[in-house]
């Protein structure tokens, strides 16, 4: 009836259209720590989870299992409570807003002994594997669903006498695409692509790029910004593969650019596709900006003005005085 994601790479017994499972190189999970000084000695609670991000595409009516590694990095017993809650994009900088977890678990269950909203004990230095089963109803709407699997931890009762009352929350995000086709439609556009018209020759240029997803499935941009100057200056900025969630706008994180000869007019051309295969449509936009040493010009003009004023003052002092 279902398979683990690892086995699905080798087997095709269930008709899952395609799985995309990418592990971020750095932990994108979040932790919130609240502590009170009810004891003299307080021990920091440390909890970690892997992987921090799951991206999965499924056919309605099918099930998959994803294994998670939950680690207690302390010398204390921890009481862990798993919760799963939906989230939505919040703002243009990639933030999310966790929503009430009213009816969320109907997609999810553990095949291991853990239960949602019920605590279990994690021993000191223990790493436990938890197997999360994801099941899509057969008549489920074909679109994206975004969830955060949260684990709340607190000190076990036998350890609370020796440490402060503390609670830690750590989460891993789940981007779930429900689709009966292998490649669902990706719909995006360039919402904003700009930079100041004039850049000082002693400064790098920072591009402002915001992409919008008006489709039902998240995408990542694959492309670059190509910069070319009139004096044959050339450069390229690769776009990072950042998720643009359905129904949201996102400001991309871009590297700064500074040419070897920062002088004259430049053209910056943005080109990217919405998937790794580079399928059409390829979105593009172009802007023009100038590199000018205006700070040096302003400083030179200021010095020249001061010298001129000083020279005139000296001339005035040296004029002969008539009785």
The vertex-108 CA angle with 51 and 248, nearest 5°, equals 70
Q: Which domains does the chain have, with CATH numbers?
A: 2-178 (2.60.40.10), 188-293 (2.60.40.3880)
Q: How far out from the chain centre does Cα 143 lie?
A: 21
The vertex-223 CA angle with 177 and 201, nearest 5°, equals 135
Are the CB atoms for 246 and 184 separated by under 8 Å? no
Classify the phi-psi angles of 94: left when phi > 0, otherwise alpha if psi is within -120 to 50, otherwise beta. Answer: left
160 burial (CB, 10 Å; 0-12 / 13-18 / 19+) is middle
Tally the C-alpha atoms within 13 A of residue 321's C-alpha that lie toward its C-beta: 2
Q: How far out from the chain centre does Cα 66 lie?
A: 22
Can you give the chain as a three-state secondary structure string? CEEEHHHHCCCCCCCCCECCCCCCCCCCCCEEEEECCCCCCCCCCCEEEECCEEEEEECCCCEEEEEEEEEECCCCCEEEEEEEEEEEECCCCCCEEECCCCCHHHHEEECCCCCCCCCEEECCCCEEEEEEEEECCCCCCCCEEEEEEEEEEEECHHHHHHCCCEEEEEEEEEEEEECCCCCCCCCEEEEEEECCCEEECCCCECCEEEEEECCCCCECCEEEEEEEECCCCEEEEECCCCCECCCEEEECCCCCECCCCCCEEEEEEEEEECCCCCCCCCEEEEEEEEEECHHHHHHHHHHHHHHHHHHHHHHHHHCCCCC
Per-residue pLDDT of the chain (323 residues; tens, 9 = 90+): 444 444 433 333 333 333 343 333 333 333 332 333 333 233 445 899 999 999 999 999 999 999 999 999 999 999 999 999 999 999 999 999 999 877 556 789 999 999 999 999 999 999 999 999 999 999 889 999 999 999 999 876 555 555 545 678 899 999 999 999 999 999 999 999 999 999 999 999 999 999 999 999 999 999 999 999 999 999 999 999 999 999 999 999 999 999 999 999 999 999 999 998 877 789 999 999 999 997 777 777 778 777 777 777 777 666 665 55
Gap between the Cα atoms of 113 and 254, Å rounded = 44
Residue 299: its pLDDT value, please?
74
CB atoms within 10 A of CB 58: 25
């Amino acid at each position: 009836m279902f398979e683990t994601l690892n086995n699905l790479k080798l087997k095709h017994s269930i008709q899952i259209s395609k799985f995309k499972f990418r592990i971020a190189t750095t932990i994108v999970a979040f932790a919130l720590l609240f502590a009170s000084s009810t004891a003299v000695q307080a021990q920091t609670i440390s909890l970690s989870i892997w992987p921090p991000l799951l991206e999965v595409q499924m056919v309605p009516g099918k099930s998959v299992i994803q294994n998670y590694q939950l680690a207690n990095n302390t010398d204390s017993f921890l009481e862990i409570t798993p919760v799963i809650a939906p989230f939505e994009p919040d703002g243009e900088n990639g933030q999310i807003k966790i929503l009430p977890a009213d009816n969320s678990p109907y997609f999810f269950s553990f095949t291991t002994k853990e239960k949602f909203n019920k605590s279990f004990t994690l021993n000191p230095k223990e790493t436990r594997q938890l197997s999360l089963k994801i099941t899509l109803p057969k008549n489920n709407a074909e679109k994206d669903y975004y969830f955060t699997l949260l684990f709340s931890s607190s000190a076990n009762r036998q350890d609370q006498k020796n440490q402060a009352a503390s609670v830690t929350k750590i989460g891993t995000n789940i981007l779930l695409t429900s689709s009966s086709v292998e490649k669902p439609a990706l719909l995006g556009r360039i919402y904003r692509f700009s930079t100041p018209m004039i850049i000082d020759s002693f400064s790098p240029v920072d591009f402002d790029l915001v992409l919008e997803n008006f489709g039902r499935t998240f995408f990542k941009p694959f492309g670059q910004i190509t910069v070319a100057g009139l004096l044959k200056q050339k450069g390229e900025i690769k776009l990072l593969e950042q998720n643009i969630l359905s129904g949201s706008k996102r400001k991309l994180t871009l590297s700064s650019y500074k040419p070897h000869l920062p002088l004259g007019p430049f053209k910056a051309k943005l080109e990217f596709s919405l998937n790794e295969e580079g399928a059409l449509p390829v979105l593009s936009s172009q802007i023009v900006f100038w590199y000018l040493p205006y700070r040096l010009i302003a400083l030179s003009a200021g010095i020249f003005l001061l010298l001129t004023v000083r020279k005139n003052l000296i001339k005035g002092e040296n004029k002969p005085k008539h009785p």
